[in-house]
A = this chain, B = another copy of it.
Amino acid sequence: MHAIIISVGDELTLGQVVDTNSAWLSARLAELGVLTKSHLTVPDDQGAIVQAVRSATELAEWVVITGGLGPTQDDLTRQALAELQDVPLVLHAPSLARIEQFFKDHGRVMTASNRVQALAPADAMVLDNPQGTAPGLRLAIGHALVFAMPGVPFEMKAMFEQHLAPLIAAQAGRTILTRKLNTFGLGESVVGEALGDLMRRDRNPMVGTTVSAGIVSVRIRSDFPTRLQAQTELDRAVSVVKQKLGTAVFSEGDVSLAVVVGEMLHARQRTVTTAESCTAGLVAAMLTEVPGSSAWFLGGWVVYANRMKTAALGIPADRIAREGAVSEGVVRQMVEEALQRSAGDYALALTGVAGPEGGSPEKPVGTVWIGLGKHVSGKNQVLAERFLLLGDRSMIRERAAKAALNMLRLELLETA
């Protein structure tokens, strides 16, 4: 079964609001075995809505519309559906009663315009909105079932679960399951080559890659008649991908590098400290975004100006002058000082050229030295690596921070 999702609203086509409903609906539909063919976003224009719904009903069995059901003059979805079906809009008494009740319950005055929300195309089934005043609509158009719901995400989601999900689950002839494996350290093309044939478009499960903020994710989509088969094939594909990509895979779904590192530190009862120059607190901020990070994160030093490297971490000014702030010697000492001053188990240090200024032929923008230190039985082990990172200042900082987290992750993997 296939779906087409239509989002209605000037705020969307003017770019004032990002449409998150379509992504949420697509993900839920996929879980229910319905593949989304396309998302279509149109402005608050009756003709455009009619057009969009007509063509969608010719291409998909499920058409889900969000938006355009509000009380104001620019909400035209119900009018468009009536025009498309060539039927009048009629007052739906139960809806009017529910709307009046809703305003009473919330101690608000109901305006005349809210009565509009009780109108529905004569041939539509009206869908209760448990969260708001705008009821939804369900119509059979051609071979398609069309659902119209408000654009307010929490209202839309509640109505989807109440009215659509059960219906789809009952009718789904197949199951589509998806999983996302997140990798770090390999370029998208390298991942693509490693996966090779797995990424052929005609394969099922289908494997694809996406890149976001330096993370290359591998999406696996398994599409089969039964849930058992879909799950079995998905699991098989996942394990093949994991085996091909090895330790580059750090998590599934939306689990961040920081969360993974945090869990590993927590499991090993180890602590980490940071000493940051170019990232200036970003690594510490990423680590502490994780709830419960106080169990394994101690703190750190943001030694952005050279004088702070000396004042706060005791790195000799003449060393900085001699070797440069962005150097192996300085990053190694940052690690040593952070370990010693924090009495923590691990330390991450970063110093680099984030740009746009400050680059040189020997140290171009994107050059970052990252140090990883470990305190074991009274001694410090320090690993220092030089990176050349792509992107603008913000990307370079974010990628440097993630590269540091990944260095710690790989070390922790070996000390399971």
Contacts and interface: CB of A to CB of B under 8 A. Distances in A.
Contacts of A378: none
Instruction: Quickly give the copy total for this chain.
Output: 2
B212 A17 contact: yes
Contacts of A297: 280, 304-305
A285 interface: yes
Interface string A278-314: 0111111101110111100111111111011101100
B289 A294 contact: no
A10 B284 contact: no
The 8 closest A-B pairs by CB, nearest first: A281-B281, A15-B27, A15-B26, A281-B284, A299-B308, A280-B288, A39-B41, A72-B192
A44 interface: yes
Nearest to A284: B281
A22 interface: yes
Contacts of A45: 201
Interface of A: 7, 9-20, 22-30, 35-45, 48, 52, 70-74, 76, 106-109, 111-114, 131-132, 152, 154, 178, 180, 187-190, 192-193, 199-201, 206, 208-212, 217, 219, 221, 273-274, 276, 279-285, 287-289, 291-294, 297-305, 307-309, 311-312, 341-343, 354-357, 366, 388, 390-395, 397
Given A40-B40, A152-B211, 4 more contacts: A10-B221, A284-B304, A288-B354, A301-B302
A36 B44 CA distance: 12
Contacts of A71: 188-189, 192
B27 A52 contact: no
**Chain A interface mostly:** mixed
Contacts of A108: 187
A201 B49 CA distance: 14
Given A298-B304, A393-B291, A48 B52 contact: no
A209 to B, nearest CB: 6
A63 to B, nearest CB: 15
Contacts of A152: 211
15 contacts: A13-B37, A14-B30, A14-B219, A17-B23, A45-B201, A72-B188, A72-B209, A74-B209, A106-B390, A154-B392, A280-B287, A281-B282, A289-B393, A300-B304, A311-B343
